[in-house]
Structure 1
Amino acid sequence: MKILINRQVIIASFVAGCIFGAFFKVVENLTGSRVYTLLLNVDYIPIIKNFRFPEVIEFIFHLIISWLITAVLCAIRNKYKWNNSMLMRNSVFIQIFIGCMLFPTTIFSKRTPIITDYFALSWWLIGHIVYGALIGILLKRKNS
C-alpha cells in the first residue's frame, strides 16, 4: 500500500501517462491511426463497456492504470534491487509485453484499429517503448 502513495510513483505515472497520451493523440491526429482511441478504449471491460464516458474520464482511467503499472514496477524494482539500467531495460520490455497483450483488444471495438492494422500496431509499440523509457527515467534512484 505504501508504494501506491509513494511520491515518485505518483509523479512518474502522471508525467509519463500524460506524455504517453499526448503522443498517441498527436499520432492519431496526424496519421489517422486510432491509437489514442485504443489507449482510452474500455470496450473489452465487462459492465464498463456498456457506458460511454467523456474523453477526460477515459483519460483519468488511463492515468489510474498508469499509476498501478508504475507502482507494480517500482515494487518489483525494490524487491529485486534493480539498478537504474536494469530498471530502464525491464520497464521498456514490460511495456512492449503490455502493448502486445492489449493490441488484440481491438477485436472488441468498432472504434479502434483492426487487428491486422500493422501501421497502428507499429505506432502502438513505439508509444509503449517511449512510455517504458519515461517510467524507467522517472523511477531512477539518485544513487544507483
Structure 2
Amino acid sequence: MKQLFNLTSIGLIAGFVLILILKIVMVLTGNTAYVLLFNFDYIPVVNDLKPVWLFGQVFHYLTCIISVIALFYILKTWTMQKAIWPYILVYTLGGGALFFLTALSEQPPAANDIMAWIYWTVAHAIFGYTVGAMVKKWM
C-alpha cells in the first residue's frame, strides 16, 4: 500500500512539474502546448464531462498517476524500476508521439506547430527525469 501511495504522490508531483514547465513556456513565448495537457475533447463520452476545466485537471493528473504506476511495474519485471533513463526515454518518446492527438481537436496547438511539439516533448523528458529521480529516491 505504501508503494502505491508513493507512486501516486510521484505522479501528482511530476504532473505538477509538467504543468509548471508548459505554463512558463506559454507565459514566456505565447506557445499553446500547455493547453494540450488538459484537452480531452477527442475522447468520446469523456468529452461531455462538465465543467471542462475541472475534468481537464482530473484527466491530466489521472494520466500522470496511471502512467507512473504502470511504467514502474513494467520496468520492475526487468528490475529496471530504479534506473532513471527508462523513464526519460518512455515519457519523451511517448509524449512526443501523443502530441499529435491534437490533430483530433479544434483546440490549440496545431498538430504542425513544431515549436509546440518541441516544448511538449522536452517538458515530457523533464517529467520522465522527475519521475525517475523520485522513484530512485523514494522506492
TM-score after normalising by structure 2: 0.88
1:16 alignment partner in structure 2: 14
Residues 70-109 of structure 1 correspond to what in structure 2 (within 5 A)? 70-82=68-80, 84=82, 87-109=83-105
Shift of 1:20: 0.7
In 2: Cα distance, 1:83 partner to 1:120 partner: 30
The reply to whether residue 37 of structure 1 matches residue 21 of structure 2 is: no
Count of aligned pairs between the two proteins: 139
Name the % identity: 23
| Contact persistence 2:73–2:81 (CA under 8 A) | no
Shift of 1:111: 1.6
TM-score after normalising by structure 1: 0.86
2:61 alignment partner in structure 1: 63
Any unmatched runs of 5+ in structure 1?
Answer: none
Any unmatched runs of 5+ in structure 2?
Answer: none
Shift of 1:52: 5.1
Shift of 1:50: 3.6
Shift of 1:77: 2.5
